[in-house]
Amino acid sequence: MGLVACKFGGSSAADGLQVRKIRSIVEYNPDRRYIVVSAPGKRFDGDNKITDMLYLLRSHAEHNAPYEQLLQVIKERFLGLEADLGVSVGIAGEFEVIEENLGKGASADYLASRGEYLSAKLIAAFLGYDFVDAAGLVLFNDKGKFLYEETNAALGEALSHHERAVIPGFYGTLPDGGIKTFTRGGSDITGALVARAAGADVYENWTDVSGFLMADPRIVENPKAISRISYKELRELSYMGASVLHENAIYPARLAGIPINIRNTNIPQDPGTIISATETDSGSGGVITGIAGNRDFTVIAIYKNMMSNETGFIKRVLSILEDYDIPIEHIPSGVDTVSVVIADKFLGDKLGDLIEDLERKTGADSIEVFEKMSLIATVGTGMAKVPGVAARLFGALYEAGVNIRMIDQGSSEMNIIVGVETKDFEAAIRAIYAAFVEPA
């Protein structure tokens, strides 16, 4: 018998109808023995995700605003699910505990985690699987840092006592027993941890799309699906903004060599995307696997005559950024220039002071700032072996009238990152896509 670990996202757990789809999928393949679930998501456009409402609940409580009605809405959603699924897991009693803890100043992490906790209880009962709480098994240290190996050991031990189990995603515990969540979308990480700890053959991540697309469908019309992608390529694409899977979900699966299969709960017959160590092209027959990008960057270009003969210049630049606690995205450099690319969210209102310090402390001849920049990564392991990829990419951007302000090619030759003005962001992605991908 094989072993498949599955994670079902919020849209798959949104209501009774969706949870019945989970049951059909799980029953279809008896190897699907460990199931990680998210909190119920949106049932229709304009609906609310349980997790969002739980965070809102916490804000209300924190500001002494009335929250009873909101709590009632959340409770009714779970009571409705319990009735619809015909199970009884004591939702009413669970809400008494939640309300009591809320009155005692429960943390945002504790409250947010209750969505996954209750969802897992309901789905476990409905599937006839054991409920195994993530509390005490998914572990963080007292600084809130996630503990990979300790978690792997604890989860592996616990799961060995359960033939089939449902585990809530998204959270774990601190050494004092307090609840700590991952960042948003973190049930994907729990799914990968469970897959690794249980030694699964595959980690199926069930969502509401049939895998990864080669580009954002809001920008490129009808982009092709990626049937296969390597962990490395995916890491690049997710880092650059392609979302479907939480970026930190890749590491545990990769470590254990477990392929991740992104699947669609609503179209279970679709094969989806397989993410594995195998470095093949996307199966689309092209040299690139995908394109992703992020807006809102600032590039600071620092010029210093004869910089290349000087030692310690870049170190001085970097240590100033460190003083400002600003992480750096990229450091493209030329003979007498070095640029730092910074995400605006980290820059905040520090730009003026930062430039002043850079001017004063590095001895730069001049500094130029380019605001409203976007980065676009074109990714594909196939690119390294094919000559002329860069020329084709730059040619396409030239044809589209896009001005390239920065180029950075990773040493693996697996990606080419270009910096363009944000006004050209979408046009640039469309141009690159058209240059590399045959129309469907």
Contact residues for ligand ASP, defined by CB under 6 A: 9-10, 38-39, 49, 51, 115, 169-170, 184-188
- φ/ψ (deg, to 5) at 410: -60, 150
Identity of the residue, 184 or 361, whose beta carbon is nearer to ligand ASP in the bound complex: 184
Per-position DSSP letters for 157-186, written without gaps between them: HHHTT-SSEEEE-SEEE-TTS-EEE-STTT
Kindly state the greatest CA–CA separation across the chain.
75
Identity of the residue, 51 or 273, whose beta carbon is nearer to ligand ASP in the bound complex: 51
Q: How far is the CB of 190 from ligand ASP (least distance, A)?
A: 8
Identity of the residue, 42 or 350, whose beta carbon is nearer to ligand ASP in the bound complex: 42
Cα 358 from Cα 367, distance rounded (Å)? 8
Per-position DSSP letters for 272-309, written without gaps between them: -EEEES-----SSSSS--EEEEEEEEEEEEEE-TTGGG
Q: How far is the CB of 220 from ligand ASP (least distance, A)?
A: 26
Q: How far is the CB of 430 from ligand ASP (least distance, A)?
A: 30
To which residue do tokens 């456009």 refer? 45
Identity of the residue, 113 or 289, whose beta carbon is nearer to ligand ASP in the bound complex: 113
Q: How far is the CB of 204 from ligand ASP (least distance, A)?
A: 15
Identity of the residue, 36 or 159, whose beta carbon is nearer to ligand ASP in the bound complex: 36
Q: How far is the CB of 41 from ligand ASP (least distance, A)?
A: 7
Cα 301 from Cα 370, distance rounded (Å)? 8
Q: How far is the CB of 191 from ligand ASP (least distance, A)?
A: 9
- Tell me if 126 sits within 8 A of 19, measured CB to CB: yes
- Tell me if 320 sits within 8 A of 313, measured CB to CB: no
Q: How far is the CB of 352 from ligand ASP (least distance, A)?
A: 35
Q: How far is the CB of 116 from ligand ASP (least distance, A)?
A: 6
Identity of the residue, 170 or 425, whose beta carbon is nearer to ligand ASP in the bound complex: 170
Q: Are strands 273-276 and 337-343 parallel, antiparallel or unpaired?
A: unpaired
Write out the two tokens for 358: 């850079």
Write out the two tokens for 76: 């009714």
Identity of the residue, 192 or 431, whose beta carbon is nearer to ligand ASP in the bound complex: 192
Q: How far is the CB of 249 from ligand ASP (least distance, A)?
A: 9
CB neighbours of 164 closer than 8 A, spacing ≥ 6? 33, 34, 127, 128, 129, 130
User: What's the order of all strands across the beta sheet hosting 130-131?
Assistant: 130-131, 165-168, 32-37, 4-8, 202-207, 260-264, 273-276, 228-230
Identity of the residue, 187 or 230, whose beta carbon is nearer to ligand ASP in the bound complex: 187
Cα 170 from Cα 186, distance rounded (Å)? 5
Extended strands (E) in 318-365:
337-343
Q: How many CB atoms lie within 10 A of CB 20?
A: 13
- φ/ψ (deg, to 5) at 324: -85, 0
Identity of the residue, 117 or 433, whose beta carbon is nearer to ligand ASP in the bound complex: 117
